[in-house]
Amino acid sequence: LTEKLQNVFKNLRSKGRLTEDDVKEALKEIKRALLAADVNFKVVKDFIKSVQERAIGQDVMNGLNPGQMVIKIVNEELINLMGSETTEIQLQPGKAITVIMMAGLQGAGKTTTTAKLAGKFKLKGKKPLLVACDVYRPAAIKQLQVNGEKQGVEVFSMGENHKPANIARAAIEHAQKNGNDLVILDTAGRLHIDEDMMAELEEIKEEVEVHQTILVIDAMTGQDAVNVAKEFNEKVGIDGVIVTKLDGDTRGGAALSVKAVTGKPILYVGMGEKLSDLEQFYPDRMASRILGMGDVLSLIEKAEAEIDEEKAREMTQKLKKNQFDFDDYLESIKQMKNMGGLGNIMNMLPGLGGMGSKMKGLDDEQTAEAERKMGRMEAIIHSMTPAERANPDILSPSRKHRIAKGAGVDISEVNRMIKQFNEMKKLMKQFGKPGKKKKFGFPF
Ligand code: GDP
Ligand code: MG
């Protein structure tokens, strides 16, 4: 999906103005790409309609080219589609026990996800109890026990000869005595939606108070996953969805459709078989991931608001000609400060704000450290002569020594900065070609 969309945008990028035909052509391609990615047909139709309504007749914003303008709109609509906000699993207040019931078809990833969630909540200071309510396969109980042990959380099971609803009740009594404040019921799935399964889940709900019913769906099953979600929501009622196996699914269609079809948010996404491979769901980051450009777009937007247009254009010109020098570097540091602090910017840069484990970007301490470094960089640049700033290639070892002295830093820091400056140049170039997915570090 990402690749196809990028081709659409590549074609648009070369356009000077956004005509109705351009938009229509692009939307046709986007539609095709979404359908090929298994996004629900009706969702695609509505999506295209809202993008079209917004795109046609809209002026291209200053500083953006037509391609970027369409990217901007598509990006915003993708985020809307997925629910805009990150949704947390609602826990009961204080020490009260929260009961979560996991539901889903067989093989969707319920048992694995149960253990993954337990790990997440344990880190947050909860004391989870995992409950083996899948009584049809002895292996399922064993699987939960093994995973629970790996996570260092207790697993409650009564073997195969009890009804799931009764096991759930007994588990909650156990939790009360045992001081567990979170009970996660791992239920049995079936290969297809069937009455038995739904009845079993309803029975559990009647027997005990379930605070959150979380549906687990397998992204690899595409359209089916979303139909399943719809059925579960109508029959049992769900509070949220976890989409698993997104690591294997490059199409991402299920993640896109869930919210629109069920009205229920995606809470987490499964990104692998390891018990640590569960990530909070951020609609904006998912949109960026689908578009394949980090959050470059937000950066463009923000930069636009703050950076003097003329300067931005000049800088772009220089970047294109590869003439970006230390004066520009100094200028860009200033602009970044204007844009509300480094922490903010870091979060928006592709590769840093991406889908990795550092989803939250930098903490305050790291931001402060980065800002101190930035200050030293400014000092170093100030210690350069205008000629050196304009032409970094002339920086000989003796010049570097003089600069280090002037800035009151170690020569190694000057060397590092020059290296980072060169990386910065590379990084800035990336802005022009979002299609390339390279990992790079931010130069500060
Ligand atoms: P259940 O029948 O719903 O309980 O599903 P399981 O938890 O047993 O998972 C079925 C298979 O999917 C197992 O082999 C898991 O390792 C695998 N699995 C679960 N979640 C993910 C995920 O996010 N990514 C990948 N690659 N595999 C997953
Ligand atoms: Mg299972």
CATH number at residue 312: 1.10.260.30
Q: Is 38 flagged in the annotation as binding?
A: no
Contact 363, 303 (CB under 8 A): no
Residue having the nearest C-alpha atom to atom 19 of ligand 1: 109
Same domain, 66 and 129: no
Residues 6+ apart with CB under 8 A from 38: 222, 223, 251, 253, 254
CA 337 to chain centre: 25
Same domain, 138 and 172: yes
Residue having the nearest C-alpha atom to atom 2 of ligand 1: 107
* CB of 85 sitting under 6 A from ligand 1: no
* CB of 104 sitting under 6 A from ligand 1: yes
Residue to probe by mutation, ligand 1, list 244, 266, 271, 280, most atoms within 8 Å of CB: 244
Residues 6+ apart with CB under 8 A from 22: 12, 15, 66
295, exposed or middle or buried, with CB in 10 Å at 0-12, 13-18, 19+?
A: buried
pLDDT of residue 357: 31
Same domain, 210 and 157: yes
Distance 216 CA to ligand 1 centre (A): 10
Distance 135 CA to ligand 2 centre (A): 10
Residue that is last in its domain, among 255, 270, 289:
289
* CB of 244 sitting under 6 A from ligand 1: yes
Same domain, 256 and 389: no
Side-chain-side CA neighbours of 321 within 13 Å: the count stands at 7
Angle at 382 between CA 376 and CA 387, to 5 degrees: 135
Residue to probe by mutation, ligand 1, list 111, 112, 116, 277, most atoms within 8 Å of CB: 112
pLDDT of residue 428: 64
285 occurs within a structural domain: yes
- Integer angstrom CA distances of residue 366 from 64, 337, 349, 369, 444: 32, 16, 16, 5, 11
Separation CA 70–CA 137 (nearest Å)? 51
Q: Is 105 flagged in the annotation as binding?
A: yes
Q: Is 190 flagged in the annotation as binding?
A: yes
Phi, psi values for residue 213, rounded to 5°: -105, 120
Tokens coding 24: 């229509």
Ligand 1: nearest atom to the Cα of 278: 23
Distance 187 CA to ligand 2 centre (A): 7
- Which residues of the chain fall below pLDDT 70? 11-18, 57-67, 249-250, 292-313, 315-316, 318-322, 335-364, 427-444
Coil, strand or helix: which one is 186? strand
Contact 397, 403 (CB under 8 A): no
DSSP secondary-structure letter at 196?
Answer: H
Same domain, 321 and 402: yes
Contact 268, 239 (CB under 8 A): no
Residue that is last in its domain, among 239, 257, 289:
289
322 occurs within a structural domain: yes
Domain that holds residue 272: 98-289
Same domain, 20 and 45: yes
What ipTM is given for this predicted complex? 0.99
Coil, strand or helix: which one is 158? strand
* β-sheet bridge partners, residue 103: 215
440 occurs within a structural domain: no
Distance 273 CA to ligand 1 centre (A): 6
Q: Is 111 flagged in the annotation as binding?
A: yes
93 occurs within a structural domain: no
pLDDT tens digits, 387-436? 888 888 888 899 999 999 988 889 999 998 888 787 777 766 665 444 33
pLDDT of residue 356: 31
Amino acid of residue 403: I
DSSP string, 249-274: -SS-HHHHHHHHHHS--EEEEE-SSS
Coil, strand or helix: which one is 183? strand
Separation CA 315–CA 336 (nearest Å)? 14
- Size of the chain, expressed as the number of residues it contains: 444
Same domain, 56 and 143: no
Contact 186, 101 (CB under 8 A): no
69 occurs within a structural domain: yes
Tokens coding 138: 């002895």
Same domain, 365 and 412: yes
* CB of 271 sitting under 6 A from ligand 1: yes
* CB of 190 sitting under 6 A from ligand 1: no
Separation CA 12–CA 6 (nearest Å)? 10
Same domain, 260 and 122: yes
Same domain, 175 and 219: yes
436 occurs within a structural domain: no
pLDDT of residue 338: 63
pLDDT of residue 326: 82
Q: Is 86 flagged in the annotation as binding?
A: no
Coil, strand or helix: which one is 105? coil
Ligand 1: nearest atom to the Cα of 102: 3
pLDDT of residue 236: 95
Number of structural domains (the chain) is 3
CA 194 to chain centre: 33
92 occurs within a structural domain: no
* CB of 110 sitting under 6 A from ligand 1: yes
**433-443 core/surface letters (b: 16 or more CB in 10 A; e: else):** ebbeeeeeebb
Separation CA 126–CA 123 (nearest Å)? 7
Residue that is last in its domain, among 56, 81, 106:
81
pLDDT of residue 320: 63
Residue having the nearest C-alpha atom to atom 6 of ligand 1: 109
438 occurs within a structural domain: no
How many C-beta atoms lie closer than 10 Å to residue 374's C-beta? 16
Amino acid of residue 174: H
Residue having the nearest C-alpha atom to atom 26 of ligand 1: 272
